[in-house]
Chains A and B, each alone.
Chain A
């Protein structure tokens, strides 16, 4: 495979090379296309400079060598030459700066957006909130742990797939408002020509307008801790009618899923739901077998907190750890039902058999106590 790419590189640039993944992926927005073109322009200019300058140098290396009997001339100054080779690069730079300036101004103008979505980075997932449409969801890595740890079942979109993609309409100027909850993340989808840091305490905006329906993939681009490499971004652009249908369906399930905080759940249902919440949020540190990573992340299987200290257990899941910031305050991200479910799960999974059932109203009460 590698040799094929080397061959491609040697035999032809343009589309074959593009397909081999040696250049920016095919752009699908106007801005991404402009970036692509500007990059190619720079590649040609800098490539030309390189060939020219080193052509001269290698000419000298071939001709002006001692072994070829060349005698050294002793000039070491020439003001005219020095002025020329200061001015020409300066002019080339001006020529580059001109189109770059225009593109920057275009990238930065998010005015007139037709759809605004708030994006929040969490360790290690993205939250999307369609501000005007009452739809919001988390987007997690969908690649199973087994694919990461064993050679088995790695699909084409290994590590670049999520459970719930961001869905947007084509032909629409979409504005993203970005922020983060814990550390700095960066939202990057190369084909859209968008990369923007998501910074706690700040709201930043970017925009894009996709013309072709399709699925476009990217990743978090700012070191954000342990699972920085496992924080993909998937954007699905759909024709406006499809998008509207999707939106309506999401709104309906959102309404149906509105949970009654006073509902009393049976243990089995809490366990099933808790396992799902655990797999999405907790597994990365505490591991699927609840054993954690010794020295870094505590075990839950058999731990005093998960088998005895119930109020402490609820407190640490709701409010995070004071000793170790890696344990986030999940109260800000998960619903009462989810937290109740995951705590119930943790107290009854693996070797833990406390029989404890934690209900959403317990969590609601615990939150009240904190406020």
Chain B
């Protein structure tokens, strides 16, 4: 406990003057305030999203029509690889960490994150890692070009761009582990009195479980890329068959990390949506308890299904069957979550502000991704679909429509609390409908491409694939354009938006809406004393409990 007590000290020290906040560049460089750090994370994630997005557009430009137009195949592979790595480690994961930093203390009534100084470190590790990835394009041989999965032995063939990537992964891994420790300790120790675990907001639950997943698997990733590094430079033969190694071992270790990683990018999204749907349905979350259990069982199951990424490596039938059954099983808790969200909407009094639109968009599209996931889980069928565009369609329905849409929902939802101003509802809705339309134009045809036989990660293709590729490329460029609208809306509203009320959403009932808007520089200096219901509801607001 003493460690935590001292970690809290800074918050108490400055408590005497609420206006005593550092200014200028030092405010950000030495930031220990959870809101400042949250903002840093969010800005960093957004810039990485743009960077990764530009790489995606480079890919889509080349695939606009058959033939090689813009890039050599080698460079094309670098684009795919870095697009994947940057979206996963640079955009989505930091964005969720940033949101957790911003909102968790507010939601659970804590003064700050538990380890404020470490929080600063875990953020400032990220920019150097991003820089390593960026400069790897300029080194001899270019950036890593083995796909975001970095399969050995291909990854042992690459130039020094691969070494830079490995170091970047190490650094990002350390960063996310530090961030996770902070989230776990904050949630376990700094909750307001009365907020038992089973009354914690779903976003806190989701962040907690995600943090455990990160701590469990990031070292696995660090380990496997280190093995690649020693294979490359120090004469080990972990993955070199000629030296007695096993190339498939790489995939087992990688996917033991990689599958839980998928849920690291999905669970926080579940948490966010579990706040927004109740708020705009003006009804409590349906089935809170089963939501908690479903989230936990998804997390646990995610460790037992890794080999469904390896159905074509030639494992025995028994292994295929085991991993197929286990994978199919994940559909059950996921289904429970979807049904619960719909149960929340049922008989509600719904309104459709931008966060709600993105949340509903999330449910629909994520479910499409989930259903194609069920198809992929059938090993017999996956034989045809593995490593094709069908898979690209599937995981973008889960990651773009899942992780990204929920992040948009979250940013719109909490924007008033963060900034004290309202965003433009018109442009928010425009952003939603525009993104929804072009997202589907981009990614839906990819199902057909994959079924018809187009492998992924190829820079050129047979003429029969032309139409859908052209469609996808047009969609991608329009989708990208739409994100500039989002950016402009945020920037403009930051300065000129209408001032927001402390509780701008009628149905919002978690703790963060109880404090002033914009959230004061120092959060709950004294622990709030309130009656808390399920999903962190502050029941006093409704004039009594609903049980």
Q: Which residues, 15 to 57 on B, are CB-close (under 8 Å) to A?
A: none
**Cβ–Cβ < 8 Å partners of B289 in chain A:** 77
Q: A195 on the interface (CB 8 Å rule)?
A: yes
Q: A202 on the interface (CB 8 Å rule)?
A: yes
Stretch in contact with the other chain, from A215-223, A270-278, A340-348:
A215-223
Q: A70 on the interface (CB 8 Å rule)?
A: yes
Return 30 A-B CB contacts under 8 Å, by A number.
Answer: A39-B384, A53-B338, A53-B339, A54-B364, A57-B360, A60-B350, A64-B346, A77-B288, A77-B289, A85-B335, A96-B328, A108-B317, A149-B67, A159-B460, A178-B314, A183-B151, A184-B154, A188-B455, A190-B384, A190-B453, A197-B313, A202-B248, A223-B151, A225-B77, A226-B73, A229-B460, A230-B460, A293-B74, A295-B141, A296-B74
Is the CB–CB distance between B325 and A76 below 8 Å?
no
- Mask, B192-226, CB within 8 Å of A = 1, is 00000000000000000000000000000000000
**Contacting residue for B332 out of A86, A188, A293, CB 8 A:** A86
Is the CB–CB distance between A72 and B451 below 8 Å?
no
Is the CB–CB distance between A46 and B374 below 8 Å?
yes
Q: Which residues, 89 to 130 on A, are CB-close (under 8 Å) to B?
A: 89-90, 93, 96-97, 100-101, 103-105, 107-108
Is the CB–CB distance between A158 and B286 below 8 Å?
no
Separation in Å of the A181 CB from the closest CB of chain B? Answer: 10
Q: B381 on the interface (CB 8 Å rule)?
A: yes
Interface of B is mostly: helix
Separation in Å of the A8 CB from the closest CB of chain B? Answer: 11
Q: A38 on the interface (CB 8 Å rule)?
A: yes
Is the CB–CB distance between B287 and A77 below 8 Å?
yes
Q: A81 on the interface (CB 8 Å rule)?
A: yes
**Cβ–Cβ < 8 Å partners of B290 in chain A:** 82
Q: A35 on the interface (CB 8 Å rule)?
A: yes
In Å, the complex CA distance between A198 and B314 comes to 9
Known: A96-B378, A204-B314. A73 touches B331 (CB 8 A): no
Is the CB–CB distance between B283 and A74 below 8 Å?
yes
Is the CB–CB distance between A158 and B383 below 8 Å?
no
Stretch in contact with the other chain, from A20-28, A167-175, A235-243, A310-318:
A20-28
Known: A182-B153, A229-B458. A75 touches B347 (CB 8 A): yes
**Contacting residue for A200 out of B247, B287, B342, CB 8 A:** B247
Shortest beta-carbon contacts, A-B, top 6: A201-B241, A229-B458, A204-B314, A72-B349, A22-B448, A76-B284
In Å, the complex CA distance between A175 and B226 comes to 38
Known: A23-B452, A90-B332. A184 touches B153 (CB 8 A): yes
Interface residues contributed by chain A, number (CB under 8 Å) = 100
Is the CB–CB distance between A76 and B388 below 8 Å?
no
In Å, the complex CA distance between A178 and B72 comes to 29
**Contacting residue for B378 out of A38, A67, A73, CB 8 A:** A38
In Å, the complex CA distance between A162 and B372 comes to 33
**Cβ–Cβ < 8 Å partners of B245 in chain A:** 201
Separation in Å of the B394 CB from the closest CB of chain A? Answer: 12
**Contacting residue for A159 out of B77, B287, B368, B462, CB 8 A:** B462
Separation in Å of the A348 CB from the closest CB of chain B? Answer: 27
In Å, the complex CA distance between A107 and B383 comes to 10
CB nearest to B467 among chain A residues: A2
**Cβ–Cβ < 8 Å partners of B380 in chain A:** 34-35, 38, 100, 103-104, 107
Known: A197-B312, A202-B248. A156 touches B463 (CB 8 A): yes
**Contacting residue for A195 out of B66, B151, B335, B383, CB 8 A:** B383
Q: A71 on the interface (CB 8 Å rule)?
A: yes
Q: How extensive is the interface on chain B, given as a class?
A: 35 or more
Query: Taking beta carbons and an 8 Å cutoff, which residues of A are in contact with B?
Result: 1-2, 5, 21-25, 34-35, 38-39, 42-43, 46, 49-50, 53-54, 56-57, 60-61, 64-67, 70-78, 81-82, 85-86, 89-90, 93, 96-97, 100-101, 103-105, 107-108, 147-151, 154, 156-160, 178, 182-184, 186, 188, 190, 193-197, 199-202, 204-205, 218-230, 293, 295-296, 324-326
Q: B476 on the interface (CB 8 Å rule)?
A: no
In Å, the complex CA distance between A1 and B321 comes to 41
Is the CB–CB distance between A64 and B347 below 8 Å?
yes
**Cβ–Cβ < 8 Å partners of B151 in chain A:** 183-184, 222-223
Is the CB–CB distance between B349 and A70 below 8 Å?
yes
Known: A76-B284, A150-B67. A226 touches B77 (CB 8 A): yes
Q: Which residues, 48 to 100 on B, are CB-close (under 8 Å) to A?
A: 66-68, 72-74, 77
